[in-house]
Amino acid sequence: MPSPPVIAIVVPCFNEEAVLPFSIPKLLAILARMAQQSLASPDSYILCCDDGSRDATWKIISDLHLRDRRVKGISLAHNRGHQYALLAGLMTAKDHCDAAISIDADLQDDTDAIIEMVRRFISGKEIVFGVRDDRTSDSWFKRTTAHAFYSLQRKMGIETIYDHADFRLMSQRALELLSEYGESNLFLRGIVPQLGLESDTVSYARKQRAAGESKYPLVRMLSFSIDGITSFSARPMRWVFFTGLILLAIDLLVGIYVGFSILYSDKLEAGWASILLSIWFLGSLILMSIGLIGEYIGKIFIEVKQRPRYAIRDILFD
């Protein structure tokens, strides 16, 4: 029998001092359990990626590292956001593990699913997606907006896994392929299904955040969603074009109607409201289109610079 795989659990952390002291021991216990059952090598480890936290997060990680070398850490020089912290962690783990599992620091995702993911990996899957089959712990609003977002993505031709956040296992091969995606506008959930490797899903129930606050309030969630679409699909631009075309057709029909009324009836169209409304309507459409074009140009601007996507300030990896 081949020796059990080295598993790296990658945990992005931004201002997580409230949850880390609970989460890390829990993850260590999972590693120990898997080592006991010969599912994972005793050299498996947890890699915490401090995303430029302003609280005691890095201190907690360093202390845990001193006590137990299975806790490793990298610290980003700036707060770059969940996706980049995750990428930094995955790329650091890439050459030092057989498979990496990403999970949020608050452990809202079921840690027992980790064991199931590793089982699937051992049986030959390269990628295992964690899928939430029970989201009752999320607010109604978060659930509805999330589902609207998934269907919008599908309509735009973006391959997505419903109710999958960034809780997943990736084999070393998958990580190697991921490292070839050099884009700066990073939306991992869109990239990973594109890698074309054999994958599987594991369902679990999502829990409440144990402590601390969500780092994804509405506005951040919204801009994350916009990234998720504009980094992958140019269809919104076409939609805007078609909307313009339809509006033009309506405009023409109304124009014909007005022309006929002037010719064949003595009623004058007193269209104060309609004129004002249409000016505002068109104005807002124009603004939206410009904004959308700007969105893409902004993305091009970021991509052509080809800057490094994150800067590592400190690393605890021994």
Q: Binding of ligand UDP at residue 104 (CB under 6 A)?
A: yes
> Which of the ranges 106-114, 182-190, 237-245, 276-284 carries the binding residues for Mg ion, by CB under 5 A?
106-114
Euclidean distance between CA atoms 127 and 216, whole angstroms: 26
Considering only residues 214 to 233 of the shown chain, the ones binding ligand UDP according to CB under 6 A are 214-216
The single residue listed with the structure tokens 């801009």 is 223
How many positions of this chain bind Mg ion (CB under 5 A)?
3
79 binds ligand UDP (CB under 6 A): yes
**CA distances, 312 to each of 88, 177, 243 (Å):** 8, 22, 45
Nearest to 118 by CA among 101, 96, 104, 106: 101
Residue in 23, 53, 92, 108 binding Mg ion, rule: CB under 5 A: 108
Asked whether position 189 contacts ligand UDP by CB under 6 A, the answer is: no
Least distance to ligand UDP, CB of residue 79, Å: 5
CB count in 10 Å sphere of residue 279? 10
Residue 31 or 86: the one with the smaller Cβ distance to ligand UDP is 86
Task: Classify residue 107 as left (phi > 0), alpha (psi -120 to 50) or beta.
Answer: left
**86 Cβ neighbours under 8 A, 6+ residues apart:** 10, 12, 49, 102, 166, 188
Binding window for Mg ion (CB under 5 A); candidates: 41-49, 90-98, 107-115, 255-263: 107-115
Which one among 16, 106, 163, 227 touches Mg ion, defined by CB under 5 A? Answer: 106
Identify the CA nearest to 191 among candidates 161, 218, 220. Answer: 161
Residue 110, interface with ligand UDP (CB under 6 A)? no
Q: Using CB under 6 A, list all residues that contact ligand UDP.
A: 12-14, 16, 51, 79, 81-82, 85, 104-106, 108, 214-216
